[in-house]
Amino acid sequence: MNDPNRRTLGASVPNDRVEIVVEVVLSAPQPGSLVSIRLPSVRLNFGGIPGDRHHGLTMRSNSRDAKVYARDTEIRNRRQLTIVSAEECADVARRLRLDRIEPEWLGANALVSGYPHLSRMPAGTRIMFPSGAGLLCEGENLPCRYPGEVIQELHPGARGLVRAFVREAYGRRGVAASVERPGEIRAGDRACVIPVPAYATIT
């Protein structure tokens, strides 16, 4: 029997395509600042968003890669873009007892809706846009203290937001993505999430 809610269940239905809406598009042009700014659209190349602080085909390994590579080793850039969901941002805001969490405070490049459990999106999932642009999910973007510092600075009357953000955003911070096919992403786009294919074993 068909479930009428199937199209909006996100990661709980990995064998079905899901349509999401791009609510906001952003870029973080300042190398020393996490905060991103809203734009009507961005045009991707194979390095990500030109001018964004995470743009590039390669990156330097950091503490997240410490178990695999020595720090500052040049590796493929898996963090060209950061995507967050409206649903998870609202959940984090509620847990922090704030009115809202804006995507620019998180340094995000896109805020989407229609995929409530975005942070659970499996690595290898494709996100396809009307322009033909394609992103490849690289997995969950683990929370760190830097967005918490931005949120704390904006809410001086609340105490302990830096540590609280890291705790409450775990599993709700969105995903990192890389560009598989260049193209344009516009605010208002309806994008298609294509799950990781289940390949049959050939014997």
More confident residue, 125 or 11: 125
SS3 87: helix
Measure the N-to-C terminal CA separation of the chain; round to a whole number of Å: 33
Q: Is the pTM of this model over 0.85?
A: yes
Residue pLDDT, tens place only, 31-88: 889 999 999 999 999 999 999 999 999 999 887 777 888 888 898 999 999 999 999 9
Tokens of 3: 């479930």
pLDDT for 170 beyond 50 = yes
Give residue 152's pLDDT band: very low, low, confident or very high (50, 70, 90). Answer: very high
Q: How many CB atoms lie under 10 A from the CB of residue 32?
A: 5
Give CA–CA dist 145/175, Å, rounded.
17
Domains of the chain: 6-194 (2.40.33.20)
- Output b/e per residue, 167-190; b: 16+ Cβ within 10 A: ebbeebbbbbbbbeeebebbbebe
Residue pLDDT, tens place only, 115-141: 999 999 999 999 999 999 999 999 999
